[in-house]
Each structure stands twice: as C-alpha cells, then as structure tokens.
Amino acid sequence: MIDRPFRISIIDYLNSAPLNYGFKRGLGFERFHLKFQVPSICADQLRSGEVDAGLISSIEFLRIPELRIVPGLCIASPKRVRSVVILSKVPPEEIRSLALDTSSRSSVVLGQILLRERYGASPETHAMGPDLAAMLETHDAALVIGDPAMRARKEGLIVLDLAEEWHAWTGLPFVFALWMVREGAPELPLPGGLALFFQKSLEMGQQNLATIIDEAWHAIGWTKLELREYLTENISYHLGEAERESLALFFDKAVRQGFAPTEKALRFL
C-alpha cells in the first residue's frame, strides 16, 4: 500500500471534464487527493513535486525533467477547437503586440509559432489574465484559452482558431494537454496500475456527457447541442499515431524557436 494519497492536479475547464469526471465523482477516492487549477499552475505544481500527476500543457514534457505520459489519453483537437483562439483587431500578419493568457503554456507557444512561421509576424508579447477587454485595450490581439475563450464576445474581431490553423498548415491534429506523472510517484499495487484509473475516469465521463453538458451550459452560454458537438467533435481524448506525429513536429518547432530546451522521446507509464 502507498503511505500517502496520490496527489493529482486537475484542469477545471470544460474540455477536461470528461477526463476528470471519474475522479471528481469519487473514483479511487481513498487513494487520490485532487487539486483544481489552470494548466500553467498544474505544471508548476508537478515541477515542484507538490503533486504526483497533472493534466498539463504538452510543451511542459520538454521543460520538466523525468516525466512519464499516461498512454492513450490527451486533450487534442482533430481540426477546429473553438476554445483556443487569437482574437485580433488587425489581420494576423499585421499583429505587432499580443497579450498571452497566463493560464496556458502550449497554446501560447503554438500561437507564436503560427504567427511567426505561417504569417511572418513576430509581435511583442505580454502575459495577462484572461480579461479580453483589458488585453485588447493595450494590444493588437489577445490569445485566450478554455472557458474564457468560449465565453468571449468575438464580434468585430478576427478569430484565429489555433487548432484549425495548425491543421490547415500541417494536416495534423493538435495535442494541447497530456496526463503526466513524476518519476518516483507512488505506485498503486493494483491490477492495471495507475493508468487504469485515468482510463476509467474518462470512460465514466464519456458515459455521462449529458450530465457534463447540463452542468456547463449556463456558465458557458452555448446551447447544449453546441456543447455536445464541442466535446465529441472539436475535442478528442485519444492519443494515437497522428497525435504522436503532431507532438513530434510541435516539439521540433518549439525547440527551434527557443520555447523549450531540447527535444526528447516520449516516455510512457
């Protein structure tokens, strides 16, 4: 038996709700202690050892030593994501200043790579909280993610959907986040081990999409039909061959652009 709870840092956005569902409903409650955070704080807690596992931005695999990935699971978008966007007052090639949502890590790297390599723009960037009005008051454009991006008023703005841009450019899905586990995290002496709990949590979420949608639609402001489409078509939770290929390409570009120290092979539980 482990001598302390296994500590998990969890993103509390709608796109992660199916992955988190089982844990939030008591799956393995006697073994797990949950902390709810935005992706950037999840990564910081994993780096510091405050937690043993976290659902964190994919770019952090290159930045935090000794991580292993829970196999088969991720937050990805096959083509259009709708919740990770650059909202701009000017065409993308004319963006000179960009406010970056402090909640994100992979998305801010992806956004800058797309602007540099796809549109030839290298704006000055400043990290800000996800307040669109404040961001656009002092910048040409703002990169926002998650529920705030879904709620944002986009009238009169140019919208760059980052997953859609990546897919149009590379033909690949984009992997925003992965379950990652620290080396030396407690072992769970059970059949299937730790990974089984993460798989089971997602299975429970996918079986209860109606409940997730019912809980979200007032807060997000989308119709239930739009939310179902988002969770079943815009977001994918399967880490397959195309997703791995996309990660390799993203990591290569991130290292070349100076957003990560060095490439390394994916390591799994």
Cβ–Cβ < 8 Å for 67, 61: yes
pLDDT digits (tens, 9 = 90+) for 194-207: 899 999 999 999 99
Alpha helices in 49-105, H assignment, sequence order: 60-63
**Percent residues over pLDDT 90 in the chain:** 84
90 Cβ contact partners less than 8 Å away, ≥ 6 residues apart: 140, 141, 158
State which amino acid sits at residue 41. I
Instruction: Tell me if residue 244 falls in helix, strand or coil.
Output: helix
What average pLDDT does range 120-124 have in this prediction? 98
215 Cβ contact partners less than 8 Å away, ≥ 6 residues apart: none
* DSSP symbols for 202-224: HHHHHHTHHHHHHHHHHHH---H
Q: Measure the CA–CA gap between 223 and 206, rounded to whole angstroms.
A: 19
230 Cβ contact partners less than 8 Å away, ≥ 6 residues apart: 14, 15, 82, 83, 150, 222
Joined tokens for residue 3: 């001598």
**pLDDT tier, 188 (very low <50, low <70, confident <90, very high otherwise):** confident
Closest CA to 31 of 66, 57, 61, 7: 7
Q: Measure the CA–CA gap between 63 and 145, rounded to whole angstroms.
A: 21
Cβ–Cβ < 8 Å for 170, 123: no
Joined tokens for residue 257: 């652009």
Predicted local confidence at residue 213, as pLDDT: 97
What average pLDDT does range 166-180 have in this prediction? 97
Cβ–Cβ < 8 Å for 144, 102: no
Closest CA to 139 of 88, 63, 185: 88
Q: How far apart are the first and last CA of the chain?
A: 19
Q: What is the rounded average pLDDT for all residues in the chain?
A: 94
Instruction: Tell me if residue 21 falls in helix, strand or coil.
Output: helix
Cβ–Cβ < 8 Å for 98, 71: no
**pLDDT tier, 187 (very low <50, low <70, confident <90, very high otherwise):** confident
pLDDT digits (tens, 9 = 90+) for 59-116: 999 999 999 999 999 999 999 999 999 999 999 999 999 999 998 899 999 999 999 9
Closest CA to 14 of 194, 154, 173, 221: 221
pLDDT of 192 strictly over 80 = no
**pLDDT tier, 1 (very low <50, low <70, confident <90, very high otherwise):** very low
**Percent residues over pLDDT 70 in the chain:** 99
pLDDT digits (tens, 9 = 90+) for 209-225: 999 999 999 889 899 99
Q: Radius of gyration of the chain from Cα atoms?
A: 18
Predicted local confidence at residue 189, as pLDDT: 74
Burial (CB count within 10 angstroms: exposed 0-12, middle 13-18, buried 19+), residue 24: middle
Predicted local confidence at residue 90, as pLDDT: 98
Q: Measure the CA–CA gap between 159 and 153, rounded to whole angstroms.
A: 11
Instruction: Tell me if residue 178 falls in helix, strand or coil.
Output: strand
Which domains, ranges and CATH numbers included, belong to the chain?
6-76+175-256 (3.40.190.10), 84-170 (3.40.190.10)
What average pLDDT does range 149-172 have in this prediction? 96
pLDDT digits (tens, 9 = 90+) for 5-63: 899 998 888 999 999 999 999 998 888 999 988 778 899 999 999 999 999 999 999 99
pLDDT of 191 strictly over 80 = no
